[in-house]
Amino acid sequence: MKWSDPRCRPGGGAVPAPVLLFTPMVETELGRRVHESFARQGLMRSIGARLVDVEPGRVVIEVPYAGTLTQQNGFFHAAVSAAIGDTAGGYAAYTLMDPADDVLAVEFKINLLRPAVGERLTAEAVVLKEGRTLTVCQSTIRAHAGDRATTVAVMMQTNMRMRPS
Task: Give the interface with its own copies as residue ranges (CB under 8 A).
Answer: 37-38, 40-46, 66-74, 77-80, 82-83, 86-87, 102, 104-114, 128-129, 133-134, 136, 138, 151, 154, 156, 158, 160
Rounded to a whole number of angstroms, the minimum distance from the CB of residue 60 to its own copies is 17
Rounded to a whole number of angstroms, the minimum distance from the CB of residue 99 to its own copies is 14
DSSP 13-67: S--S-HHHHHHHHHHSHHHHHHHHHHHT-HHHHHTT-EEEEEETTEEEEEEE--G
- By beta-carbon proximity to its own copies, the closer residue of 20 and 113 is 113
Q: How many helices (H) and strands (E) does the chain have?
A: 4, 6
Q: What is the C-alpha separation between 34 and 129, in angstroms, rounded?
A: 20
Is the Cα torsion angle 37, 27, 144, 94 positive or negative in sign?
Answer: positive
- By beta-carbon proximity to its own copies, the closer residue of 4 and 46 is 46
Rounded to a whole number of angstroms, the minimum distance from the CB of residue 36 to its own copies is 9
Rounded to a whole number of angstroms, the minimum distance from the CB of residue 17 to its own copies is 30
